[in-house]
Amino acid sequence: MSARQEKDAEQATAASRTNDGPLDVVVIGGSQAGLAIAWHLARQGLRYAVLEAGPEIGHAWRSRWDSLTLFTPAQYDALPGMPFPAPADTYPTKDPVAGYLQAYASALEVPVRLNARVTSLSRTEEGFEARAADQVFRARQVVVTTGPFQTPFVPPAAQGLDESVTQLHSAGYRNPQALPEGPVLVVGGGNSGFQIAEELAAAGRRVDLSIATKLPVLPQRLAGKDLFWWLTHLGLMRVTTESRLGRRMSSREFVIGHSRRRLQAKGVRFRPRLTGTGARSAHFAYGSTLDTGVVIWATGYRLDHSWIQIPEVARDGQIAHQRGVTGVPGLYFLGLSWQHTRGSALLGFVGDDAAYIAGCIAARRRASDAASPRPVRSHRAEQR
């Protein structure tokens, strides 16, 4: 992050605590969704800041496993206003994505506060108050962009294994060399489970992959075109969660580009649902058992919005919203899975939802300006 960005963020957030009054907008979370909305806020000339828990932009991507390869090709990985720097129809790995997000934030001079994990968000008379460590940030409107994959979920069966078994969630997996030697049980039949199982088998490990629900498997490429080309051209990326087709599509994930046959050819053994564990064993539906010393839980994530102290919006882990707009005026979400369409939590499509939320922010600002006019002020002009 440039010195200029740090200064912008410092000035913007300091202003929110002093006599300049609240910021127009605080964005909580500085990854792809946070940056996509920042692009719109900058164009609207708003006083805003992005609060990011991590030590750097792109942290969420950098922390994923070393070989992670995107299932979306480069032409479907761009945020608003800046192409992804890779040839079309190539599939970036995770570090170039993190690098792209950093370059994006720098090019746009997004005012980002790093190491600023928001631990409480509450309502005030003027709008909202976010607290991060000992700092308080006030804003008229807030966009929560803390991601669709927050708290790694591990099934209760994990507790039956004894301490001599190495267990980790896919969020903590890095590469085959970082695991103790020996066979590995991977639990979870989504994209992560398939990718990790294939990598381990290719590295010469004996791998069992336990799948509770068989997801439909779609090829990465069809008739010379990428899957997302087809989904876009067939209009399926525009199908909304309110429609009947959208409800059906959103009730089921699919696995992209992994064939069971290919994994079997590499020696991966498929197992049904894991039903329980012994001290060093895993039990599966239909009665089979496996001795195991290393288990990787590719069993997904849960949302955690317990820090949002606005009960009518966040309750029991669920967010009440329509297309990211909550019932609390001025509070929005961006980047949730199927927030509006299949693309809502994808790099190259989150920009569509960001444009919609930005429109809502502008409309609310116009309405409140009309009700009580404020002096027109340019955030950038203030700093020069």
Ligand X SMILES: Cc1cc2nc3c(=O)[nH]c(=O)nc-3n(C[C@H](O)[C@H](O)[C@H](O)COP(=O)(O)OP(=O)(O)OC[C@H]3O[C@@H](n4cnc5c(N)ncnc54)[C@H](O)[C@@H]3O)c2cc1C
* Site for ligand X, rule CB under 6 A: 28-34, 51-54, 59-60, 64, 68, 70-72, 117-118, 145-149, 192, 307, 335, 345-347
Residue type at position 298: A
User: Which tokens hold the place of 47?
Assistant: 């006083």
Closest approach of Cβ 63 to ligand X, in Å?
9
Q: Which one, 65 or 284, has the nearer CB to ligand X?
A: 65
125 alpha-carbon distance from chain centroid: 31
- State which residue, 268 or 347, has the beta carbon closest to ligand X: 347
C-beta of 67 vs 275, nearer to ligand X: 67
Minimum separation from the CB atom of position 153 to ligand X (A): 12
Smallest Cα–Cα separation from 145: which of 224, 51, 254, 62?
Answer: 51
Runs of H (alpha helix) within the chain: 3-17, 32-43, 59-62, 94-107, 191-202, 227-233, 244-250, 260-265, 350-371, 379-383
Residue nearest ligand X (C-beta atom): 147
- Residue 65 near residue 186 (C-beta atoms within 8 A): no
Nearer to ligand X, 130 or 165 (CB): 130
Q: How far apart are CA 292 and CA 182, in angstroms?
A: 9
Separation between Cα atoms, residue 342 and residue 157, nearest integer Å: 31
Residue 98 or 290: the one with the smaller Cβ distance to ligand X is 98
Q: How far is the CB of 359 from ligand X (least distance, A)?
A: 19
For every residue of 252-316, DSSP letters joined together read ---EES--HHHHHHTTPEEE--EEEE-SSEEEEGGG-EEE-SEEEE---EE---TTB--TTTEET
One-letter amino acid of 260: R
Looking at the Cβ atoms of 148 and 155, the one nearer to ligand X is 148
Smallest gap, in angstroms, from Cβ of residue 139 to ligand X?
Answer: 14
Cβ neighbours of residue 93 closer than 8 Å, sequence gap 6 or more: 67, 68, 69, 70
Pick between residue 9 and residue 68 the one whose CB is nearest to ligand X.
68
Q: Least Å distance between CB 56 and ligand X?
A: 9
